[in-house]
């Protein structure tokens, strides 16, 4: 049954949560007293609909239904998850949580997006403190997987486990913060960096642009894939982490950071930062900056997905749970691909680059292979199919964000040979490209042609026989 | 004339510099009294030769010559750049710099890799303080572009400008730090984060693994492409940076960071960190971790290159300076591609995925288009060629790191039609694949076929006529 989430507070963070749930097939109830809320949500949702489906090489589930509610009671009734993202004031949060726990089902997880408050602070005075945990996300919530999941001693293990399970099913990474502290983990780092940044600007050492360059051309690239300690482990070399600390530990005593003081946020300092930021990025609207950021994140996350590393490994794990079953019936064309075209597949002509049609057909051939039993285990055992030629006809342009599907036919399936024909269609049924592809079965040890395993060949022959009864899809 | 760099000190950092110079066609003189130096350099160089060429879609220049020297005098004589990367002790650096300035040419830039010392400290007591600047790199130096270029008031503008010019020619980004301070800019951030990390471990809040996850699944991804302030500018929304600071400024006064104190690096704390790091990454050798890191960085940098954003824009700018001239003579096959196959182009079969052959041929067609005058300006003016079909034959496998070239022929060039034939060869002359590709000239406004500009058609016809006199490269 479709699950339902209640989103209480629909700013940039609440909107990001809403998009995560909705695009993963959940129904969503929204409560936000702000008269601008629906407009704000629509903007976040537009970004998310553009971006999130591009992380995956399969289609996401059908979107759930969004219901705008006028009371918290209405929003939280009967739901499986409640996510609070109201402004960062403890008195306000207490009031909202009292209303939520009074009306939400007993088994609903109630998460707070708070950046700074500890769960025990949020739970004070509530009837059901055990249902409320911190689930702190990072902007853009629809693309970044990290969620700091912070329970207090009042939360039973069952709530923590249920929260982990649901967050993982949304493609997120629940980082279980085992001891609650102010600002959890990540924001302590962000705060330390923010403070240093303010000092550098106040002291006239660097501008916002120079600080951003110092981050994105250097350690930012390291941290996007390995973090701090694994990076330093490498720096320590074969002698290891203890060696690294012995070598660099003394720096902590050097005057390398503005440890002892906090810069005062005078009007002058605020104006200085705002002016520098305008000079750096003022030629772009926030909407344009969001789109640039999201396209960069999509491209980098897809790059990490290709390596099955860091956040890319999370996407692959999530994708495995939403991948459709292999084609069952073989008496007609097999639907081998259903997916969205990501931004990084387009070229200077503004459309999908021709080589990516080849990638879609290559992926389609993988599904045919899996369907006949030539799957990951089969390949690990040293057998596979290699493509020896392909002819692609490009019939219509396609663009980033387009949803396409591929229908595949087995033209020949005998001995070492597998000849496939793929048709790529747009959502409206337009035929966009065809690919006729010849594959040969090989031993991965000798890299030479060899016969397939008997059961694989039998399945392939059965499909080829069924498809030979169909009109020739090539139309010749 | 080939330029020469002297590398003084050949650890991980010196070795990274050495690789940057050598792989960009410079000769390199190495001085390092460590008997293990050559072995260590060889390890870094092996990583760099694997990784750096993969960032580019054209081949790097031919490698320079590496000369191992037995004295600083020998190493620095007649060179254009000296890079000092000896251990972080001021007395040692003073001794080394005295020797360097005594023997290096008057116009050589002398850079120090120091993480912490100010250039004025390094210059103390030197005969030619004006020649010495800080050029602080980030590991892995052969992949990360950031160099903090820190002069003191003793350095004339000419030295700073020459340093910038050379660093840029190596594909690096010289960040001019306009006022010298301890630890420059980036390491102040790294130090602040390191200190917070130590507290989190000491207080038992998080392990090294949890801290790394908190970074790489969240803000690390943001910082790899935008840095701190541009990210927060977006968070401020349409109301801008001043609004963001007004909203989040007060956090600075909250107990969110371990401001006032530095954790003592007791043996116990060091052992705790080392144990956690072993649990996190101990199943992989440092060499394996380096390779994972480098493959992730290559994939992410190539992803940003595709977006022409952040560090990817730097690579594109550098690539433009090393891109070979368009084919001149048209009486034989045109060499359209010379490049290395990057790691992110390979698939589960361990070889380059079939779709990337299509990409190589698509790139080859771009060079043919540019050769006939259908270049970026032409496309910007609304005209282009679209591929309508391609037939690719896969004759031999190719792998990451392989250097390939493409020879292209114009089979037909008349009216709206351009039919090309491409042959992809390995370095040893093996024919690895062929592509026969039909393109049609289009208006980018109507997205329909139209005639090319007269000069483009004339050039295309001339090449087609010349190639028609050759034996048919398809061998039919």
Query: For the segment B196-210, what is each residue's pLDDT rounded down to a tens digit?
Result: 888 888 888 999 999
Nearest one of B8, B7, B19 to B44, comparing CA atoms: B19
Same domain membership, residue B56 and residue B159: yes
- Would strands B4-8 and A383-394 be described as parallel, antiparallel, or unpaired? unpaired
Give the model confidence (pLDDT) of B389-439 as tens digits: 999 999 999 999 999 999 999 999 999 999 999 999 999 999 999 999 999
B439 forms beta bridges with B387, B418
Picking from B183, B195, B344, the nearest residue to A303 by CB comes out as: B344
Query: Which residues 195-224 on chain B approach chain A with CB closer than 8 angstroms?
Result: 195-198, 200, 203-206, 208-224
* Residue A103 belongs to a domain: yes
Number of domains in chain A: 3
Contact between chains at A188 and B182 (C-beta distance less than 8 A): no
- Give the torsion through C-alpha atoms of A89, A91, A92, A93, to 10 deg: 80
The secondary structure element, H or E, covering residue B71 is none
Query: CB under 8 Å to A187, separation ≥6 — which residues?
Result: A115, A116, A136, B256
Which chain B residue has the Cα nearest residue A205? B179
Given a cut of 70, the residues of chain A with pLDDT beneath it are 238, 240, 247-263, 265, 476
User: Do residues A127 and A212 share a domain?
Assistant: no
Secondary structure of chain A in HEC code, one letter for each residue: CCCEEEEECCCHHHHHHHHHHHHCCCEEEEECCCCCHHHHHHHHHHHHHHHHHHHCCCCCCCCCCEEEECCHHHHHCCCCEEEECCCCCHHHHHHHHHHHHHHCCCCCEEEECCCCCCHHHHHCCCCCHHHEEEEECCCCCCCCCEEEEECCCCCCHHHHHHHHHHHHHCCCEEEECCCCCCCCCHHHHHHHHHHHHHHHHHCCCCCHHHHHHHHHHHHHHHHCCCCCHHHHHHHHHHHHHHHHHHHHHHHHHCCCCCCCCCCCCCHHHHHHHHHHHHHHHCCCCHHHHHHHHHHHHHHHHHHHHHHCCHHHHHHHHHHHHHCCCCCCCCCCCEEEEEEECCHHHECCCCCECHHHHHHHHHHHHHHHHHHCCCCHHHHHCCEEEEEEEEEEEECCCCCCCCEEEEEEEEEEEECCEEEEEEEEEECCCCEEEEEEEEEEEEECCCCCECCCCHHHHHHHHHHHHHHHCCCCCCCC
Q: DSSP 3-state assignment of B83?
A: strand
Task: Clarify whether residues A171 and A152 are in a common domain.
Answer: yes
Q: Give the CATH number, domain containing residue A18.
A: 3.40.50.720
Residue B356 lies in a domain: yes
Rounded-to-integer distance, Cα A369 and Cα B320, Å: 41
Residue pair B128/B155 in contact by the 8 Å Cβ criterion? no
> What mean pLDDT is predicted for residues B89-114?
97
What's the average model confidence in pLDDT over B351-371? 96
Q: Are A456 and A368 contacting, i.e. CB atoms less than 8 angstroms apart?
A: no
The answer as to whether B296 is a domain residue is no
pLDDT of residue A284: 84
B309 inside domain: no
Residues A392, A431 within the same domain: yes
Final residue in a domain of this structure, among B176, B202, B230: B176
Q: Taking CB atoms and an 8 Å limit, are A299 and B299 in contact across chains? A: no
Q: Nearest CB to A260: which of B139, B226, B260?
A: B260
- pLDDT of residue B80 exceeding 70, the answer is yes
| Chain A residues 50-109 within an 8 A CB cutoff of chain B | none
| Residue A227: per-residue pLDDT | 83
Residues of chain A with Cβ-Cβ distance to B178 below 8 Å are: 205-206
Pair (A340, A425) in one structural domain = yes
Beta bridge partners of A5: A28, A81
Of how many residues is chain B composed? 476
What residues of chain A lie within 8 A of the CB of B235, using their CB?
12, 139
CATH number at residue B201: 1.10.1040.10
Q: Does residue B310 belong to any structural domain of this protein? A: no
Q: Which residues contact A174 (CB under 8 A, 6 or more apart)?
A: A135, A147, A149, A163, A164, A167, A168
Q: How many CB atoms lie within 10 A of CB B357?
A: 27
Which of A176, A211, A234 marks a domain boundary?
Answer: A176
| pLDDT at position B252 over 70 | no
Residues B140 and B272 in one domain: no
- Counting every residue written for chain A, the total comes to 476
CB contact under 8 A, A274 and B242: yes
Please tell me the predicted confidence (pLDDT) of residue B248: 67
Same domain, B392 and B258: no
Q: How far is A358 from chain B (nearest CA, A)?
A: 5
Looking at the structure, tell me whether residues B225 and B250 fall in a common domain: yes
Give the least confident one: A21-30, A143-152, B275-284, B361-370.
Answer: B275-284
Q: Among A154, A176, A198, give the residue marking a domain's end.
A: A176
Q: In the Cβ-directed half-sphere of A456, how many Cα atoms lie within 13 Å?
A: 21
Chain B: residue nearest A227 by CA? B212
List of chain A residues whose C-beta atoms are within 8 Å of the C-beta of residue B344: 303, 306-307
Alpha carbons A298 and A55: distance in angstroms, whole number: 6
Average pLDDT, chain B: 91
Contact B226 A233 (CB under 8 A): no
Whether B33 maps to a domain, the answer reads yes
Task: Choose the closest CB to A255 out of B182, B256, B394.
Answer: B182
A8 lies in the same domain as A140: yes
- In this structure, what token pair is assigned to residue A299? 């491209």
Of B185, B205, B295, the CB nearest to A205: B185
Q: Is residue B474 part of a domain?
A: no
Omega before B140 within 30 of 0, i.e. cis: yes
Say yes or no for a CB contact (<8 Å) between A344 and B306. yes
Instruction: Give the contacts of A313 (CB within 8 A, at least 6 positions apart).
Output: A304, A305
Nearest to B219 among A186, A251, A387 (CB): A186
pLDDT at B258 over 90: no
Could you give the strand order of the β-sheet that contains A334-340, starting from the edge strand earlier in sequence? A334-340, A403-414, A417-426, A431-443, A383-394, B383-394, B431-443, B417-426, B403-414, B334-340
| Whether residues A273 and A392 fall in one domain | no
Same domain, B279 and B334: no
CA-based nearest residue to B199, from B252, B257, B263, B271: B263
Domain span including residue B400: 325-468
pLDDT at A253: 53
Burial, A182: exposed, middle or buried (Cβ in 10 Å; 0-12, 13-18, 19+)? middle
Pair (B152, B212) in one structural domain: no
Answer yes or no: is B320 within a domain. no
CATH at B388:
3.10.129.10
């Amino acid at each position: 049954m479709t699950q339902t989430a209640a989103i209480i507070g629909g700013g940039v963070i609440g909107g990001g949560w809403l998009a995560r749930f909705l695009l993963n097939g959940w129904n969503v109830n929204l409560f936000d007293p702000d008269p601008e809320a629906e407009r704000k949500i629509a903007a976040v949702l537009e970004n998310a609909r553009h971006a999130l489906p591009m992380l995956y090489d399969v289609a996401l589930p059908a979107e759930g239904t969004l219901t705008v509610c006028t009371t918290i009671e209405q929003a939280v009734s009967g739901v499986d998850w409640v996510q609070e993202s109201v402004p960062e004031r403890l008195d306000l949060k207490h009031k909202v949580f009292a209303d939520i726990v009074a009306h939400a089902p007993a088994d609903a997880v109630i998460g707070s997006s708070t950046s700074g408050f500890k769960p025990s602070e949020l739970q004070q005075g509530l009837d059901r403190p055990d249902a409320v945990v911190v689930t702190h996300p990072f902007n853009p919530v629809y693309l970044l997987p990290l969620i700091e999941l912070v329970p207090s001693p009042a939360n039973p293990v069952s709530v923590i486990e249920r929260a982990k399970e649901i967050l993982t099913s949304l493609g997120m990474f629940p980082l279980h913060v085992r001891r609650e502290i102010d600002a959890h983990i990540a924001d302590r780092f962000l705060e330390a960096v923010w403070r240093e940044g303010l000092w550098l600007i106040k002291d006239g050492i660097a501008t916002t642009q120079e600080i951003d360059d110092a981050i994105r051309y250097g350690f930012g690239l390291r941290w996007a894939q390995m973090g701090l300690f694994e990076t330093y482990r490498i720096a320590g070399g074969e002698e290891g982490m203890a060696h690294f600390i012995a070598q660099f530990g003394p720096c902590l005593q050097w005057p390398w950071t503005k440890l002892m003081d906090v810069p005062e946020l005078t009007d002058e300092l605020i104006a200085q930062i705002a002016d520098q930021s305008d000079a750096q990025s003022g030629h772009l609207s926030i909407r344009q900056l969001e789109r640039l950021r999201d396209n960069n994140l999509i491209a980098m996350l897809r790059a990490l997905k290709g390596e099955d590393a860091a956040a890319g490994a999370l996407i692959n794990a999530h994708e495995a749970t939403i991948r459709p079953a292999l084609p069952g019936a073989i008496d007609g064309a097999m639907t081998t691909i259903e997916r969205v075209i990501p931004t990084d597949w387009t070229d200077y002509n503004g459309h999908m680059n021709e080589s990516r049609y080849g990638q879609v057909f290559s992926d389609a051939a993988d599904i045919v292979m899996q369907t006949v039993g030539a799957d990951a285990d089969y390949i690990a055992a040293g057998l596979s199919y290699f493509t020896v030629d392909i002819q692609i006809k490009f019939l219509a342009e396609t663009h980033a964000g387009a949803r396409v599907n591929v229908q595949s036919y087995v033209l020949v399936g005998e001995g070492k040979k597998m000849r496939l024909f793929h048709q790529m269609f747009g959502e409206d049924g337009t035929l966009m490209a065809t690919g006729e592809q010849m594959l040969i079965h090989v031993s991965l040890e000798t890299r030479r042609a060899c016969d397939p395993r008997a059961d694989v060949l039998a399945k392939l022959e059965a499909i080829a026989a069924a498809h030979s009864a169909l009109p020739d899809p090539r139309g010749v």
